[in-house]
Amino acid sequence: MELLRQIGIEPDEIIVPDINETPLPQESPRAHALRLACEKLASIQRGGYVITADTVVAAGSRILPKTTSVQDAEKYLRLLSGRRHRVFTGVAIRAPDGKQATRAVTSIVGFARLDALQISDYLASGEWQQKAGGYAIQGKAAAFIDFLSGSYSNVVGLPLHETANLLRGLGYYRP
């Protein structure tokens, strides 16, 4: 919601679709992110403009799902430490007339090498909870980032430039 506000859009309603986020066999991280955004869109039956998105963190071809345990978060942080990874966000939008547009956006993020104290402090913060890849770039993990290529807002969870362009292509114009 905060991201949309940055580009002057105030959502009327926030809906959290209940879909199965398990990757399909052999599904690439990019395809996974786009499929989840499209499934979320299909599950929401509302009028007006509907925007859905899903963000996936990948180390190589391995998808690092949203963390549900401190053990997973620690494993992901150790895996990402000292290396680059990709963040994919699938965006799907439906206009009031039923037309749809989709886009998958990729950013590359580099983590500095993390020491045990940095990892334990981050885990103690709780920011890792329900975060793809076990971190939130807009929080304390910003101190870990030594490289970013692509969209910062994509890594946060919604690529704003691309979302605004999709909306314009579907006829959405702010007054």
Would you please indicate which residues are annotated as catalytic (active-site) residues?
A: 54
Residues 6+ apart with CB under 8 A from 134: 57, 64, 67, 72, 73, 74, 75, 76, 77, 80, 128
Tell me which residue has tokens 């890792």: 128
Helix and strand numbers, DSSP H then E, in the chain: 6, 5
CA 139 to CA 100: how far, in whole Å?
33
